[in-house]
Amino acid sequence: MLAAAILAAGESRRMGTPKALLPFPATPLTPGKTTFIEHLISLARHPKVGAMRVVLGAHAAEVRNRVELRPEWVVMNERWEDGQLSSIHAAIRSLPPDIHGLMLFLVDHPLISPGIVERLIDAFGRSPERIVLPVYDGKRGHPIIFPARLFEELLSAPLDVGARAVVWAHAEEVVEVPTQEEGVVLNLNDMKTLKQTLKDRS
């Protein structure tokens, strides 16, 4: 069984407002008014995903007040100040034992489609012991899928390096899925970048 985790625990200091609650452009998948986190949830609710996790931290109360989240989805990262890897740790520790892999969605990388999610999951199905990630124009992006056999390495990876340490350590075991979706590498970390990106895509 595959699990999905949306990492949304950060302070969003550069953005100035919780990234999870930023408005997301309407799509066929989410035609009405929606947010970054709701769009990512809609992507993560794939038929082959048996466990969903939404990792919250700095703005947990505000997110839970504005977005309907099932109680079993929510994972609190009390150590969100330690960075993204601490949220991965929280997600892994919350998973049931029958999980074969974990697909990580970053709240500041929301401009992805169901198509790339489908392709990544299909690639993992063919290589369930390997790391699977998208590549745009030679650059690796997100979401990324880690097999369960690497969970312990993720839990022991250095906080200052993060999950990249595990990817680097298993360089020969990475499946790259090429895509024309620039969104897999677009990190929407501040309001200027967000506005320009959405303007360019309109």
11 Cβ partners below 8 Å, 6+ apart? 57, 58, 59, 80, 81
Count how many domains the chain has: 1
Please list the ranges in the chain whose pLDDT falls under 50: none
- Helix (H) or strand (E) holding 140, with range, is strand 139-140
Phi, psi of 75 (to 5 degrees): -125, 125
Q: Do the Cβ atoms of 164 and 83 come closer than 8 Å?
A: no
- For residue 185, being part of any structural domain is answered with yes
Single pTM value for the model: 0.89
- Token pair in block for residue 59: 């703005």
Could you tell me the CATH number of the domain that includes residue 12?
Answer: 3.90.550.10
- For residue 146, being part of any structural domain is answered with yes
- Helix (H) or strand (E) holding 56, with range, is strand 49-56
pLDDT value of position 113: 92
Buried b (16+ CB within 10 A) or exposed e, 83-103: ebbbbbbbbbebbeeebbbbb
pLDDT value of position 72: 94
pLDDT value of position 24: 75
Q: Do the Cβ atoms of 27 and 65 come closer than 8 Å?
A: no
- For residue 18, being part of any structural domain is answered with yes
- For residue 202, being part of any structural domain is answered with no
- For residue 160, being part of any structural domain is answered with yes
Q: Helix, strand, coil shares of the chain as percentages rounded to 5?
A: 40, 20, 40
Other Cβ atoms within 10 Å of 31 Cβ, number: 8
- For residue 35, being part of any structural domain is answered with yes
40: containing domain: 2-197
Other Cβ atoms within 10 Å of 78 Cβ, number: 11
- For residue 127, being part of any structural domain is answered with yes
Distance from C-alpha of 20 to C-alpha of 53, rounded to nearest angstrom = 14
pLDDT value of position 21: 85
Q: Do the Cβ atoms of 129 and 32 come closer than 8 Å?
A: no
- For residue 80, being part of any structural domain is answered with yes
